[in-house]
Chains A and B, each alone.
Chain A
Amino acid sequence: MMKNKAVATDYGLWKLMAWSGPVFFTLFFFMWGLLADNFPPMSPNLSAEAMKAHYLDKSLAISIGMSVCMVGGAFYMTWGCAVSRLMRRIEGPEGMFSNLEMMGATITFTPIVVACGIWLVAAMQAAVLSAEIIQSMYLLGWMIIDIAYMVTSFQIMGASIVFLKDTREKKLIPAWISWWGWVTIASFFPVSLIPFFKTGPFALNGLFNFWVAFPTWYIWIVAMSIYVIKGVNRIEIEDGAAEAKEDVSNAVSMLATR
């Protein structure tokens, strides 16, 4: 069978993009979490002076962490493209949810890059800015990165709906991950409470809105990444098998016409 190489699936590139998921979550864990000292995040209840002291103290580490995250956040977008393509194999080229997932992943990068940019400048300018400005910048970053959750919810929703519809006997993405996606979406809603609480479980550093909502999402990204990489491998094998079958039947029909 003559196959047009220009429209053939580039499995190598697809796998590379699938691997940008692990790049994203590893980078964020070390650069945003550990290096920039966000485990745990500063309490919104701290005084402006204490926040300024934090940024002065950690200026270099936060500057490096945030600037790396502004670059590395884009891997969420490339990963979203790989997920979207896997979804299209289930819902077909006309499906809307693969678009929703890709847009959701792409736009998720926006609040990340804006918030990290704000925190970067707070760290760079800690010596010359007033404490109240630093405090406002710290909170501004959090409000943007947190309350933009609905974009990511739409991304996860699209993926969960489509991967649950997968009719393969062994689904490309196991059902529990899709259901975990619903858990993640549910855990995001209380994040809307962060402007109203400086302490307690619903503060931005609180038990629920930080220690539950973020790890829930993180688990989804990690689990999804692993199975998307496996999924692309499986699609490659499925396509290969289908092609081989086609080749055999072509050969048979050619022999028959002789």
Chain B
Amino acid sequence: MKREDKLRRVPGVEGIWVFIGADLAFFGLLFISFMLSRRDNPAVFAASRQTLDYHFGGVNTLILLTSSWFVAMALSAARNNRFVVVQRCLAAALLSGISFGVLKIIEYGREIGSGVSPKTNDFFMYYFTFTGIHFVHVIAGCVVLIVLLVNARKQSYRSNDLAGLEIGASYWHMVDLLWIIIFPLLYLLR
């Protein structure tokens, strides 16, 4: 038991896992409610899904995964007190996060330009609310990354003081994790 305790540890602080756990539970409910609604209107959902351009969602998945990877690399560098690498990785993660947002806005622009809105039908209601709520998470995540970057410039994160960086990293991975489910659910599921 003692040995277990030494090896196993909670990343960041316990509280961030309360937040992430609840956020994921909420999204879980929303995913199920989407599927139930899809079951009620299969034709509308199929036709609407086909108007989405999955290349956008796919590229954005790659961007977000890469961003997550940069954050994981930043954490690993901070554990070894390699401060310049931490900053570079966080900056790269932030740039990726912003790219996700820019691409998503372009995609929204095209969709709204083609005449769809959350009012069009239930599919688009779910599409815009899910991706919209996720987008708010991305914006919040970019703010978190900016805070991490500012602190990293002051070399605040060292091998013995990583809680702040781990909290931010865990949140950013959650944003990634949510998209990993949202993307196939909305764009790919035939």
Name A's B-contacting residues (CB within 8 A): 164, 175-176, 178-180, 182-183, 186-187, 189-190, 193, 196-197, 200-202, 207-208, 212, 216
Contacts and interface: CB of A to CB of B under 8 A. Distances in A.
A179 B119 CA distance: 34
A176 B23 contact: no
Interface in B7-41: 13-16, 18-19, 22-23, 26, 29-30, 33, 37
Interface string B50-79: 000000000000000000000000000000
6 contacts: A179-B14, A182-B19, A183-B18, A186-B23, A193-B129, A200-B33
B19 A179 contact: yes
Contacts of B16: 179
A43 to B, nearest CB: 15
Given A175-B13, A193-B129, A196-B118, A201 B30 contact: yes
Contact of A208 (B13, B26, B118): B26
Secondary structure at the A interface, as helix, strand, loop or mixed, is: helix
A176 B29 contact: no
Contacts of B37: 200
Interface of B: 13-16, 18-19, 22-23, 26, 29-30, 33, 37, 118-119, 122, 125-126, 129, 133, 136
B136 A200 contact: no
Contacts of A201: 29-30, 33, 129
A187 B10 CA distance: 24
A179 B129 CA distance: 24
**What's the dominant secondary structure at chain B's contact region?**
helix
A134 B26 CA distance: 33
Contacts of A180: 18, 22
Contact of A176 (B14, B33, B125): B14
Contacts, number: 53
Given A207-B33, A208-B30, A183 B23 contact: yes
A187 B122 contact: no
A186 B133 CA distance: 10
Nearest to A160: B15
Contact of B29 (A178, A183, A208): A208
B26 A212 contact: yes
Contacts of B126: 200
Contacts of B30: 201, 207-208
A103 to B, nearest CB: 25
A176 B26 contact: no
Given A193-B129, A200-B37, A202-B129, A212 B18 contact: no
A183 B125 contact: no
A182 B23 CA distance: 10
Contact of A179 (B18, B29, B118): B18
B29 A190 contact: no
Contacts of B118: 196
Given A182-B19, A208-B30, 20 more contacts: A164-B15, A176-B14, A176-B15, A180-B18, A180-B22, A183-B18, A183-B19, A183-B23, A186-B19, A186-B23, A190-B129, A190-B133, A196-B118, A196-B119, A200-B122, A200-B126, A202-B129, A207-B29, A207-B30, A212-B26
Which of B15, B37, B126 neighbours the largest number of chain A CB atoms within 10 Å of its CB? B15
Contacts of A197: 125
A193 B130 CA distance: 12
Nearest to A200: B125
A93 to B, nearest CB: 27
Residue among B16, B19, B119, B136 with the highest chain A CB neighbour number at 10 A: B19
A208 B19 CA distance: 16
B116 to A, nearest CB: 15
A216 B21 CA distance: 13
B129 A176 contact: no
A175 B15 contact: yes
